[in-house]
Structure 1
Amino acid sequence: MESFKHYKIVLLGEGRVGKTSILIKYIDDTFDPDMKSTKRAAYLDKSLDLPEGRVKLSIWDTAGQEVYHALSHIYYRDANGAILVYDITDLKSFERVQHWVKELLSILQKKPVIVIAGNKYDYANKQAVSSEQALQYAESVGANHYYTSAKTGKGITEIFTDLATQMFKNENPTNSRSAFVPVKKTSIIIDPDKSELSPTDQKKPKKKDGCC
Structure 2
Amino acid sequence: MQTHESKIVLLGEGRVGKSSILIKYIENTFDPNMKSTTKAGYMDKTLNLPEGRIKLFIWDTAGQEMYHALSHIYYRDADGAFLVYDITDSQSFAQVQHWIKELKTVLEKTPIIIIAGNKYDCLSKQKVSKEDAENYAEKNGAHHFYTSAKTGFGIVEAFQDLATRILKNKNQPKLQDLQLKKTSSLIIENNTVTLTNQKEKPKNKKDGCC
Q: Which residue of 1 aligns with 2:25?
A: 26
Q: Could you list the per-position Cα deviations for residues 154-200 of structure 1 after superposition, in whole angstroms to 9, with x for gaps in the alignment? A: 001011100000000011137xxxxxxxxxxxxxxxxxxxxxxxxxx
Q: Which residue of 1 aligns with 2:169?
A: 170
- How much does 1:52 deviate? 1.3
Read off the aligned partner of 2:164 and give its amino acid letter: T
- How much does 1:82 deviate? 0.3
Q: Please give the TM-score of this superposition, normalised by the length of structure 1.
A: 0.80
1:194-209 alignment runs, 5 A limit: none
Q: Which residue of 1 aligns with 2:105?
A: 106
Q: Which residue of 1 aligns with 2:36?
A: 37
- How much does 1:53 deviate? 1.1
Provide the C-alpha distance between the structure 2 equivalents of 1:168 and 1:82, rounded to a whole number of angstroms.
14
The answer to whether the 8 A contact 1:148-1:155 is kept is yes
4+ runs deviating over 4 angstroms: none
SS in 2 for 1:105: helix
Provide the C-alpha distance between the structure 2 equivalents of 1:169 and 1:22, rounded to a whole number of angstroms.
24
Provide the C-alpha distance between the structure 2 equivalents of 1:111 and 1:38, rounded to a whole number of angstroms.
25
Read off the aligned partner of 2:14 and give its amino acid letter: G
Q: Please give the TM-score of this superposition, normalised by the length of structure 2.
A: 0.81
SS in 2 for 1:106: helix
1:69-88 alignment runs, 5 A limit: 69-88=68-87
SS in 1 for 2:46: strand
Provide the C-alpha distance between the structure 2 equivalents of 1:124 and 1:143, rounded to a whole number of angstroms.
22
The answer to whether the 8 A contact 1:12-1:85 is kept is yes
Provide the C-alpha distance between the structure 1 equivalents of 2:165 and 2:84, rounded to a whole number of angstroms.
18
% identity of equivalent residues: 68
Read off the aligned partner of 1:144 and give its amino acid letter: H
SS in 1 for 2:74: helix
Provide the C-alpha distance between the structure 2 equivalents of 1:3 and 1:172, rounded to a whole number of angstroms.
12
The answer to whether the 8 A contact 1:21-1:32 is kept is yes
SS in 2 for 1:134: helix
1:181-200 alignment runs, 5 A limit: none
Extract unaligned runs of 5+ from structure 2: 174-210
Read off the aligned partner of 2:36 and give its amino acid letter: S
- How much does 1:3 deviate? 2.4
Extract unaligned runs of 5+ from structure 1: 175-212
Q: Which residue of 1 aligns with 2:91?
A: 92
The answer to whether the 8 A contact 1:40-1:72 is kept is no
Aligned length: 173
- Given the alignment of the two structures, is residue 118 of structure 1 paired with residue 117 of structure 2, yes or no? yes
